Structure 1
Amino acid sequence: MPWFALDDGFDTHPKVRKAGNAAIGLFVRLGVHATKHLTEGHLDGVIVRDYGTPATVRKLIAVGMLHEHGHACPRCPQPVEDGFVIHDYLDYNKSRAQIEAAREAARKRQNRGRESARRNREARDSAANLDGNSRENDASFAPNSRENAPRFEDSPAGHEGVSRRDTHEGATGVPSPPLPSQNYGVADVGGDSAGSGAHAPRPDGPSADLAPIDADGFTLTDAMRRWALQTFGPTVDIDHSTAQFVSHYRSTGARRRSWPDAWQKWIRDDAKRAAERANRPQQGAFLVPLPGGGQNPPPARRSTTDERVAGWLALASGDDTP
């Protein structure tokens, strides 16, 4: 909607003061009428005489604020016969073309806004419909999925009765599955492995409560002793290391595919640690004896190393006599 423009100094302009309030009131009404109907300041004589009196019309013409047909103002267009035109109207107000262009731009902006709102509504409605359909499909699929789900028998897998490992008493706490036990045959001294063999069944009956290393039937054989003695000599206490080996795996409940191979690695580690201890400087090794350090040294302790070495050598040679 266009507006009839008046300058902010309009109220004190000499023409306004000379015309008087009544004539100025007529001028404002005529300006609003011209702006509303996009006449660009042109007025029909009937409208002018209807809005004002002949005296107020003559005052506006006298001060130069309103021109009648045949006026001599070079800045204003000529009105039609029996018509009038407002002085300098287009200097302060927009033309018909400008107002129509502004209205068209506003109409396009409004249409774009309405189209965008319509698309947004359609998108929301589509999303709501899709969500509703998805929920309906999910609701209908849930019973079908339960009906079509496979039925599993609540029974032991692969055997009758309850497995020892299915009960709390038989649980070992080891996450890995049990490996089959083996009946070991030990390789000769000098072989790459201390022993290998075919799988043997797990013992039943009174031995069923044994730890895996006991249940799998691990034993220290003479061939294993000969291998350790020939490989490492007297640096490793075979009986003590084997006892530690059995105690360790009995406490953990672990299983091995080849217990002799695991024992062989254990002995190698013990021999390595023994060699490292032997290479460390002994306490007092760097002490220098002082003169007069004692006249009667204590008697040396009898060493049993020679006796043990002799026993091992006799065992390696196959001589069981002491």
Structure 2
Amino acid sequence: MPWFALDDGFDTHPKVRKAGNAAVGLFVRLGVHATRHLTEGHLDGDIVRDYGTAATIRKLVTVGMLHDAEHGCRRCPQPANDGYYIHDYLDYNKSRAQIEASREAARKRQNRGRETARRNRNERDSDANLSSNSRQNDASFAPNCGQNDPQFEGSTAGQDDMSRRDTHEGVTVVPSPPLPSQNYDGVDAGGGATGSRAADLAAFATTPIEVDGFQLTDAMRRWAHATYPAIDVDHATAQFVSHYRSTGARRRSWPDAWQKWVRDDAQRASQRRQPSNVIQLASGQTLTGTDARVAGWLALPSEETP
């Protein structure tokens, strides 16, 4: 909002004292009108006569505070026919262009503030949704995993001999290698972990793995062991975390993305275990590897003969 400006010596100026209070009151009203409508000091004759009497208008013109048509002041522009102009208006007040530029700058500042507030609000809502989805998926794992947990007896994992995941004290999980971004020292000649590396690996096995809101929970781990017992859950999770850290990709539901990753790992492992190039001969003999490929080549001519 623009303001009609008066300097701090206005009240004692000789012109003001000579014009009198009534004429000065008219001058202030005319100045406010010109500023509100951005006329840059120009006034319509009907407005001036509506605001003041003929005597107060004449006093302002006589002392030089207000100019009528064909006035002799060289510093002020000529008003339109039947109009008036406030003396030295632009010396104390902003022009129309300056006021409009100030309004436009204020509008842009307000828009930037609103955009920043909207962006911050969306980020908070997105974080809240991710957290809510993570809690919901974690809760959905819990009711079903307890029923499908694999049962182990004694100190073994269901095998005749001790497996690499067993210890004399009971069944423990051997942690998978750390993420590539971490640096570990202290590997002995046999490839085992010693010193700080052993402590870091132990911490890795007990510390939740997190990336952008994802966390491997006990319920998710039980589900993976029960559904795909051959899968190394820690290794698969480390690969999962490394992949999304390196790509910077985000998922609406991290638990669902992790579950799909484990399923894909299990499928690839199953495909690797299946023998390739297997042919069953009519005699009942099964050929594999190079023998199967040769038998397949020999069978091609007979298959193409009508």
Instruction: Please report the TM-score for the alignment, with normalisation by the length of structure 2.
Output: 0.50
SS in 1 for 2:77: coil
Change over 3 Å in CA distance of 1:157–1:77 after alignment to 2? closer
Q: Which residue of 1 aligns with 2:188?
A: none
**Alpha-carbon distance in structure 2 between the residues aligned to 1:13 and 1:157:** 106
Provide runs of 4+ in structure 1 moved above 6 Å.
none
Q: 1:72 to 1:146 in 2, by over 3 A?
A: same
Q: Supply the distance in 2 between the matched residues of 1:176 and 1:121 (Cα, whole angstroms).
A: 54
Letter in 1 for 2:15: K
**Structure 2 counterpart of 1:259:** none
2:156, 2:123 → 1: CA distance? 54
Instruction: Deviation per CA, 1:107-137: give whole Å up to 9, x if none.
Output: 0000011111111111111111111111101
Instruction: Give CA-to-partner distance per residue, 1:251-287, whole Å, 9 cap, x none.
Output: xxxxxxxxxxxxxxxxxxxxxxxxxxxxxxxxxxxxx
Inter-partner Cα distance in structure 1 for 2:76 and 2:104: 28
What letter is aligned with 2:115? E
In the alignment, the residues of structure 1 paired with residue 80 and residue 119 of structure 2 have an alpha-carbon distance, to the nearest angstrom, of: 51
Q: Which residue of 2 aligns with 1:134?
A: 134
Residue 70 and residue 149 in structure 1: after superposition, are their counterparts in 2 closer, same or farther (change >3 A)?
same
Per-residue CA deviations over 1:168-209 (Å, capped at 9, x if unaligned) read: xxxxxxx999xxxxxxxxxxxxxxxxxxxxxxxxxxxxxxxx
Match of residue 18 from structure 1: 18
- Residues of 1 paired with 2:79 and 2:144: CA distance? 87
Provide the residue aligned with 2:41 in structure 1.
41
Q: Which residue in the other structure is 1:111 paired with?
A: 111
Determine the structure 1 residue equivalent to 2:187: none
* Alignment RMSD: 2.0
**CA deviations over 1:270-307 (Å, ceiling 9, x no partner):** xxxxxxxxxxxxxxxxxxxxxxxxxxxxxxxxxxxxxx
Q: What is the rounded CA distance, in whole Å, between the counterparts of 2:20 and 2:120 in structure 1? A: 57
Aligned to 1:145: 145
Q: Aligned pair in 2 of structure 1 residues 124, 157: CA closer, same or farther (>3 Å)? A: closer
After superposition, residues 159-198 of structure 1 pair within 5 angstroms as: none
Which letter does structure 2 place at the counterpart of 1:102?
Answer: S
Q: How does 1:1-322 map to 2 (within 5 A)?
A: 1-153=1-153
Amino acid of the residue matched to residue 84 of structure 1?
Answer: Y
SS at match of 1:85: strand
AA matched with 1:48: V
Q: What residue identity is the alignment partner of 1:136?
A: Q
2:38 counterpart SS class: coil
What amino acid does structure 2 have at the position aligned with 1:67?
H
Distance of 1:126 and 1:176 partners within structure 2: 47
The size of the alignment, in residue pairs, is 160
Q: What is the identity percentage for the equivalent residue pairs of Structure 1 and Structure 2?
A: 77
Q: Deviations over 1:60-117 (max 9, x none)?
A: 0011000001101000000000000000000000000000000000000000111111
Partner of 1:211 in structure 2? none
Matched AA of 2:23: A
Would the aligned equivalents of 2:6 and 2:92 in 1 still touch at CA under 8 Å? yes
Q: C-alpha distance in 2, partners of 1:157/1:130?
A: 39
Code of the aligned partner of 1:5 = A
Aligned residue type for 1:139: A
| Amino acid across the alignment from 1:55 | A
Provide structure 1 residue ranges, at least 5 long, that are not aligned to the other structure. Answer: 159-174, 178-322
SS of the residue 2:150 aligns to? coil
Q: Distance in 2 between matches of 1:48 and 1:24?
A: 13
Distance 1:5 1:157, change over 3 A: closer
- Partner of 2:43, secondary structure, is strand
Stretch of structure 1 that moved more, 85-94 or 130-139: 130-139
TM-score with structure 1 setting the length:
0.48
Change (3 A) 1:69 1:157: closer
What secondary structure does 1:150 align onto?
coil
Rounded to whole Å, the distance in 2 between the matches of 1:111 and 1:21 is 45
